[in-house]
Amino acid sequence: MRIYYNLDDFTPVKNAVVTSGTFDGVHVGHQKILSRLHEIADKNNGETVVITFWPHPRLVLNPEADIKLLNTFEEKAELLKEQGIHHLLRIPFTKEFSQLSSADFITKILVNTIGTKKLVIGYDHHFGKNREGSFEQLKLNGPQYGFEVEEIPRQDVDHMAVSSTNIRKAIETADPETATHLLGRPYSLSGMVIKGEKIGRSIGYPTANLEIDSAHKLIPADGIYAVTVHYEHAQYGGMLYIGNRPTVEGQKKNIEVNIFDFKKDIYGESLVVKVHQFIRGDHKFNSLEELTLQIKKDEEQSKEALRNL
């Protein structure tokens, strides 16, 4: 998959089959659109193109809302690559760009930059200044610009009750199973392993402390989770802790994972942690000994959860 970071980098491609959107999460609803993109491209000897926007438009237009995202751009790009997309065009989203009219979006981007032959969009898709552009407008104007438009019917995705908002809600309320169902895969966190205070090591449960590489990445609710950890093309079981470590009077949020049957020194390395099941909430214990006994139970429960995947 080729990635283009602005409009000037892109040159029109043969029989471009295009879709446009933020694609936060690349969830099963998005996958329906991407699958249809491939069907059309294969039938017409074409190439698939995804237009996305970064930063997320709501971060620019409503920064005080402090929206959290399901993916960093790098995670989103990797997911789109896994879906077999040929071209990913990342358009820098600014307040100036938000004033682009729907007519200009069609002519300047879809026609002149990409050379669109077929545009596939989700139902109720809007674009351009004040979201003025619509499927009806695209369908009306498409023929004069040389492309066709197809809308994924509402009933094709509505029965799944899928949306990025619903997925965020599931993650924020410690419901990773629902998030997995809506995403079509477990929710994941990626980051670099940094040095911690080594409290886990002192009680027999060493952890890799993760530094998440985006302030806007959505972090699951505090607690313990059964997870799989992906490192250097290998997968390990583990248990993830998110919280302020109240038993030792912690002052900041920690994201740390105990990796089962793992001995390597991985400071400075990158990990991907996939969240499968919520084990329990975060609690303050009366002593480290009491905490250690509970962590042993968490380990047993996490291993059982992973066996049942």
Looking at the structure, give the CATH architecture of the domain made up of residues 186-307: Beta Barrel (2.40)
Within 82-233, strands assigned E span 87-92, 116-122, 148-152, 187-194, 208-212, 223-231
Look-up of token digits 């505090």: 222
Look at residue 157 in the predicted model and tell me its pLDDT: 55
- Core vs surface per residue 203-219: b (16+ CB within 10 A) or e: eebbbbbbebeeeebbe
Question: Where do the CATH 2.40.30.30 domains begin and end in the chain?
Answer: 186-307
CB 227 within 8 A of CB 275: yes
User: How far is CA 223 from its chain centroid?
Assistant: 21
- Core vs surface per residue 288-300: b (16+ CB within 10 A) or e: eeebeeebeebbe
How many H-runs (helices) and E-runs (strands) does the chain carry?
11, 12
271 membership: H or E segment, kind and range? strand 270-280
CATH class of the 2-158 domain in this structure: alpha beta
Look at residue 198 in the predicted model and tell me its pLDDT: 67
- Show the tokens assigned to 132: 């003025």
Of the candidates 205, 221, 235, 208, the residue with the CA atom closest to the CA atom of residue 300: 205
Rounded average pLDDT per 10-residue block, the chain, 309 residues:
95 93 93 94 96 93 89 95 97 93 90 94 77 77 87 63 88 97 96 81 84 92 98 96 80 90 92 98 90 94 95
